[in-house]
Chain A
């Protein structure tokens, strides 16, 4: 009896050893990301899907995969172009067959630190986002099983799925997770502003410094924190998108005060992401500032900052010039691949 027990014990040992060595054979280490000092805390869902070496590699490959679209013409990177801080230059996103979407493609940067995704904050977890463009008629107009069917026999994908997840199986969840892992690595914190702040040598010009002062006085209450957005949703009286599907954050929350409210966009890399506004209402930064200065649209739920100040942010021409100079110090050459 003792012998048998001993034998079983030894056999068990072997089994567990075996399992361990199998796990180790897929060496897919977690990436150590350089989290900038003073950035807000991470979105809590990040801890469930930490970027790994192969997960990120796979995610990037999927991000540029045109077979995600029904006619194999559009990938995520068609509208999220690195040179534009992963936004593009169209007022509204353009999907397959030239279909025009509801809104402006947002830049993708510092997503790890965001609590809400999309202009209306409809998604709280980045992993739940990729399905939206895949199935949306005006974007890729496909389905997740159609995508999997197209890529499942591709040897390079089999290899990467195995390296990332331990076996070759391609599942919707694994696709969503690896794309999110790649997107989590898109951290921009190497602009002139950052270098000035970290005292790495560069300093602001007179105009930039004056612009920074105006920014702190007239802009920072919304474009706050090191992300240059306080992640709030506000109706700031921008020209309205008359598409009947548009209601801003109101269509998500059902709260009247959220009607035509949009997420305060980050100002990082703003130089590269024209046009501006939820559906690209403004071609240039100057036109945005002119609009603030001359007065925004009235609305019942107009943000108090405007409502209490005659529906405008008064700015002199000099202030506008300086603000634009300051905003350009938020450009991160390294991030956009230069």
Chain B
């Protein structure tokens, strides 16, 4: 009897220690920070107006020099993939908790902290550029936080006429005479399944391999993601020459919404979903 008591006591003490060490050194979950670096090739973009001397310029494959005054895009539907292949979704059905607007003009928006990510070793990250059609309804009641963030006057990531969000918004200037360029993308899908549907789905699912595994546990890793806007005009899918005007093929202003033109930019930035599933994105490093 005495021996049994001793064993019991011992195991109780042991258990206590195990749980202690769990919470102290190897927590069940921790943060993961996604740090976005918006670049032209390897140079971080500096924004500027038409006459800016400090703005970062880039030259497209077609030979058009350009620079930006505004760069914004929406990231949603984030999933981390464990080394065993298990997918861990991060608030994928909640735009308030799982989606964000990356805005080059707001430094704090470039780091997006995923909180309470289960402790594990992760080898891959997936996310959406834009918002899936079923969530892209400007539902202010369901997602008040994201609605407010996207709709703020200095964000302007809403597409009122389509009652959806803008997925990317790039404003800038091109050619030596600094003509305005204004590239907005977003989905125009309408209709319910089984019935007539119309429109273009501008959401793109991105899959990126991590350079080294991100180990979530006692430490909160940081994943550095490069978004290379050189791809906007010189992408894997399309080589685009900008032109200004009101014709069907003119593409430098928001009539890129003639979504035939818009899709070319979407495929360059977010991939075409088949041969290109990274678009302009790549992981440059993981800090564990």
Our verdict on whether A and B bind, yes or no, reads: yes
Interface residue ranges, A against B (CB under 8 Å): 44, 115, 118, 121-125, 128, 131-132, 135-137, 143-145, 171-172, 240, 242, 244-247, 250-256, 258-260, 300-301
Knowing A247-B258, A251-B257, A251-B258, say if A172 contacts B196 (CB, 8 Å). Answer: no
- The reply to whether the CB of B170 lies closer than 8 angstroms to some CB of chain A is no
Q: How far is the CA of A132 from the CA of B195 in the complex (A)?
A: 22
In the complex, the answer to whether B141 meets A259 with C-beta atoms within 8 Å is: no
Sort A-B residue pairs by CB-CB distance and give the 9 closest, nearest first: A254-B259, A251-B257, A250-B258, A244-B253, A247-B258, A254-B200, A136-B160, A259-B248, A247-B255
Q: How far is the CA of A252 from the CA of B260 in the complex (A)?
A: 10
Interface CB pairs A-B, < 8 A, 6: A125-B190, A254-B258, A254-B263, A259-B248, A259-B258, A301-B248
In the complex, the answer to whether A145 meets B198 with C-beta atoms within 8 Å is: no
In the complex, the answer to whether B257 meets A121 with C-beta atoms within 8 Å is: no
**Out of A118, A122, A135, A145, which one reaches B141, CB within 8 Å?**
A145
Q: How far is the CA of A121 from the CA of B158 in the complex (A)?
A: 19
Q: How far is the CA of A115 from the CA of B196 in the complex (A)?
A: 10
- The reply to whether the CB of B144 lies closer than 8 angstroms to some CB of chain A is yes
**Out of A44, A125, A135, A171, which one reaches B138, CB within 8 Å?**
A135
| Distance in Å: Cβ of B239 to nearest Cβ of chain A | 19
Knowing A245-B254, A252-B188, say if A145 contacts B199 (CB, 8 Å). Answer: no
Knowing A244-B254, A244-B255, A246-B255, say if A172 contacts B140 (CB, 8 Å). Answer: yes
- The reply to whether the CB of B48 lies closer than 8 angstroms to some CB of chain A is no
| Distance in Å: Cβ of A244 to nearest Cβ of chain B | 4
| Distance in Å: Cβ of B137 to nearest Cβ of chain A | 8
In the complex, the answer to whether B253 meets A252 with C-beta atoms within 8 Å is: no
Residues from chain B with Cβ under 8 Å of A300 in the complex: 248
Residues from chain A with Cβ under 8 Å of B190 in the complex: 122-125, 128, 252
Chain B, residue nearest A130 (CB): B163
Residues from chain A with Cβ under 8 Å of B198 in the complex: 121, 124, 252-253
Knowing A131-B138, A145-B144, say if A253 contacts B163 (CB, 8 Å). Answer: no
Q: How far is the CA of A253 from the CA of B162 in the complex (A)?
A: 12
**Out of B144, B160, B182, B255, which one reaches A135, CB within 8 Å?**
B160
Q: Is the interface of A mostly helix, strand, loop or mixed?
A: loop
In the complex, the answer to whether B196 meets A137 with C-beta atoms within 8 Å is: no
Chain A, residue nearest B153 (CB): A137
- The reply to whether the CB of B151 lies closer than 8 angstroms to some CB of chain A is yes
In the complex, the answer to whether B259 meets A252 with C-beta atoms within 8 Å is: yes
| Distance in Å: Cβ of A168 to nearest Cβ of chain B | 17
In the complex, the answer to whether B260 meets A255 with C-beta atoms within 8 Å is: yes
- The reply to whether the CB of B17 lies closer than 8 angstroms to some CB of chain A is no
Knowing A124-B191, A245-B255, say if A254 contacts B199 (CB, 8 Å). Answer: yes
**What count of chain B residues pass the 8 Å CB interface test?**
32
Residues from chain B with Cβ under 8 Å of A256 in the complex: 248, 258, 260
Residues from chain A with Cβ under 8 Å of B163 in the complex: 128, 131-132, 135
Q: How far is the CA of A188 from the CA of B151 in the complex (A)?
A: 38
**Out of B162, B195, B254, B258, which one reaches A122, CB within 8 Å?**
B162
Residues from chain B with Cβ under 8 Å of A247 in the complex: 255, 257-258
**Out of B139, B195, B257, B259, which one reaches A245, CB within 8 Å?**
B257
| Distance in Å: Cβ of B214 to nearest Cβ of chain A | 37
Kindly identify, within residues 185 to 221 of chain B, every residue whose CB is under 8 Å from any CB belonging to chain A: 188, 190-191, 195-196, 198-200
Q: How far is the CA of A128 from the CA of B144 in the complex (A)?
A: 19
Residues from chain B with Cβ under 8 Å of A135 in the complex: 138, 151, 158, 160, 163
Q: How far is the CA of A172 from the CA of B140 in the complex (A)?
A: 9
Q: Which of A118, A240, A245 has the most CB of B within 10 A?
A: A245
**Out of B141, B161, B254, which one reaches A132, CB within 8 Å?**
B161
Q: How far is the CA of A218 from the CA of B127 in the complex (A)?
A: 54
Q: How far is the CA of A305 from the CA of B2 in the complex (A)?
A: 102
Residues from chain B with Cβ under 8 Å of A244 in the complex: 182, 246, 253-255
| Distance in Å: Cβ of A287 to nearest Cβ of chain B | 22
Q: How far is the CA of A118 from the CA of B160 in the complex (A)?
A: 13
- The reply to whether the CB of B262 lies closer than 8 angstroms to some CB of chain A is yes
Q: How far is the CA of A93 from the CA of B191 in the complex (A)?
A: 26
Q: How far is the CA of A251 from the CA of B200 in the complex (A)?
A: 9
In the complex, the answer to whether B141 meets A172 with C-beta atoms within 8 Å is: yes
In the complex, the answer to whether B140 meets A143 with C-beta atoms within 8 Å is: yes
